[in-house]
């Protein structure tokens, strides 16, 4: 990710920009603070790991170097699955990660990132920042000694890399797939064997045949991780991650000990990174997908009956989780009600416009103006 001067960049809004420009003068009398961050991602992924580095640099710049955060890749301080416990216990002050990595502790963690057949990027931002999602999730999280600030999103992800084609639900039976979050639950319900494997370890597992398939994010990151070299079929869409939000898990005691100005600067930098990460992916994924296809990757769409079967599994699982877990039910009821409104609105605007433009810009045959079927 290109490193540019924080103070010269446009931020999420004019208010955020003004606060950050004024920050060095404000913080001259403030204390020096040093935090450690255990990232949930390997350093090779400049989009995701780099977002935490960029936010840390912006925080340092805006405080005249008085508030510094050192970002360590997954596994350097603690293994990725232990990062949340490390934050809660004060081993590190924060982690930039995907909250749904911790659904094994409680399925409600998923609402910090996404749930299968959930909100897209814009819808999640609206729910989180303006629809009450942030307050609701952090009220659930606070007794665990942490809070969560949104800071990044991948957008709708690809459906992953498979050694064999998925034509019907019979092809899912016994499939060993790396997939985190509640996505793993619905694949398990369909007969697959989900695995949770840290990003840096996935390639070796796929190459050795320990797993049959994996998902990660999308073309830009997937190309870097080299999955196309060991699996031929690249599926879409990643219906379990329609808009995967990332964020900062922060130890509450450490957060409340910060001067108010530092908390405002941290939040502004995190929200700037939220927009910047999505722009990075949107700018880079198309070219990466073209390269992958040119290199022999076979692009496949999940058949609609397969997606419908997974959707049905998801709705049943949510009902069961809600009946057994009051925190999950409270979050899911609120989230699902917001989604119904958001989807209903966007079908007349964003979706209708996008569908038209996708058709209008489809490559056409050189002669006769006839459209070429996508291959």
How would you write the pLDDT of the chain (375 residues) with one tens digit per residue? Answer: 443 333 334 444 444 444 454 555 555 679 999 999 999 999 999 999 999 999 999 999 999 999 999 999 999 999 989 999 999 999 999 999 999 999 999 999 999 999 999 999 999 999 999 999 999 999 999 999 999 999 999 999 999 999 999 999 999 999 999 999 999 999 999 999 999 898 889 999 999 999 999 999 999 999 999 999 999 999 999 999 999 999 999 999 999 999 999 999 999 999 999 999 999 999 999 999 999 999 999 999 999 999 999 999 999 999 999 999 999 999 999 999 999 999 999 999 999 999 999 999 987 644 344 443 433
Same fold, 6-156+243-283 and 160-241+297-332: yes
Do the bridges between strand 67-72 and strand 33-38 make them parallel or antiparallel, or are there none, so unpaired? parallel
How would you classify the pairing of strands 146-153 and 245-251?
A: antiparallel
Q: What value does the CA radius of gyration of the chain take, rounded to a whole number of Å?
A: 21
CA 288 to chain centre: 19
Question: Phi then psi for 174, rounded to 5 degrees?
Answer: 75, 0
Q: What's the whole-model pTM score? A: 0.88
Residues, the chain:
375
CATH of domain 6-156+243-283: 3.40.190.170
Of 201, 198, 235, the closest CA to residue 218 belongs to 235
User: What's the confidence (pLDDT) of residue 363?
Assistant: 79
What is the DSSP secondary structure assignment for residue 65, as one 8-state letter?
T
pLDDT at position 26 is 54
Angle between helices 48-62 and 14-26 (to 10 degrees): 50
Give CA–CA dist 253/35, Å, rounded. Answer: 13
Cα dihedral: 73, 75, 77, 78 (round 10)? 130
Structure tokens at 2: 């290109």
- What's the CA dihedral at 66, 71, 77, 83 to 10 degrees? 100
Pick the CATH number of 160-241+297-332 from 3.40.190.10, 3.30.1280.10, 3.30.460.10, 1.10.357.10: 3.40.190.10
Residues near 348 by Cβ (< 8 Å), separated by ≥ 6? none
Q: What is the DSSP string of 276-310?
A: HHHHHHHHHHHHHHHHHHHTT-EEEEPPHHHHHHH
Rounded distance, CA 331 to CA 313, Å?
19
Percent helix, percent strand, percent coil in the chain, to nearest 5: 55, 15, 30
Each domain of the chain, given as residue ranges in start order, spans 6-156+243-283, 160-241+297-332
State the Cα–Cα distance between residues 334 and 152, nearest whole angstrom.
22
């Amino acid at each position: 990710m290109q490193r540019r001067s924080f103070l010269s960049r446009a931020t999420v809004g004019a208010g955020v920009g003004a606060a950050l420009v004024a920050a060095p003068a404000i913080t001259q009398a403030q204390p020096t603070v040093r935090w450690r961050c255990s990232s949930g991602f390997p350093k090779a992924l400049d989009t995701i790991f780099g977002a935490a580095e960029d936010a840390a640099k912006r925080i340092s710049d805006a405080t005249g170097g008085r508030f510094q955060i050192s970002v360590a890749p997954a596994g350097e301080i603690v293994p990725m699955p232990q990062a949340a416990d490390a934050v809660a216990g004060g081993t590190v002050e924060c982690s930039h990660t995907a909250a749904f990595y911790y659904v094994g502790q409680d399925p409600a963690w998923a609402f910090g990132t996404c749930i299968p057949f959930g909100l897209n990027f814009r819808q999640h931002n609206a729910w989180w920042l303006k629809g009450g999602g942030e307050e609701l999730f952090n009220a659930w999280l606070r007794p665990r000694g942490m809070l969560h600030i949104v800071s990044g999103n991948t957008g709708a992800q690809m459906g992953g890399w498979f050694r064999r084609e998925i034509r019907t639900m019979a092809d899912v039976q016994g499939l060993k797939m790396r997939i985190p979050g509640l996505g793993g639950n619905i694949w398990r319900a369909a007969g697959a064997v989900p695995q949770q494997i840290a990003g840096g370890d996935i390639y070796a597992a796929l190459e050795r045949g320990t797993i049959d398939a994996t998902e990660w994010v999308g073309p830009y990151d997937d190309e870097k991780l080299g999955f196309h070299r060991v699996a031929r079929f690249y599926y879409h869409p990643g219906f379990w991650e329609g808009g995967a939000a990332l964020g900062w898990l922060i130890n509450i005691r450490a957060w409340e000990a910060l001067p108010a100005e530092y908390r405002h600067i941290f939040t502004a930098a995190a929200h700037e990174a939220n927009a910047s990460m999505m722009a990075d992916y949107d700018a880079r994924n198309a070219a990466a997908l073209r390269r992958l296809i040119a290199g022999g990757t076979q692009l496949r769409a999940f058949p609609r009956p397969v997606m419908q079967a997974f959707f049905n599994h998801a709705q049943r699982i949510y009902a069961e989780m809600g009946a057994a877990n009051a925190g999950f039910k409270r979050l899911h009821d609120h989230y699902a009600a917001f989604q119904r409104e958001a989807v209903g609105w966007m079908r007349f605007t964003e979706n209708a416009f996008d569908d038209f433009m996708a058709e209008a810009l489809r490559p056409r045959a050189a002669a006769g103006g006839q459209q070429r079927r996508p291959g």
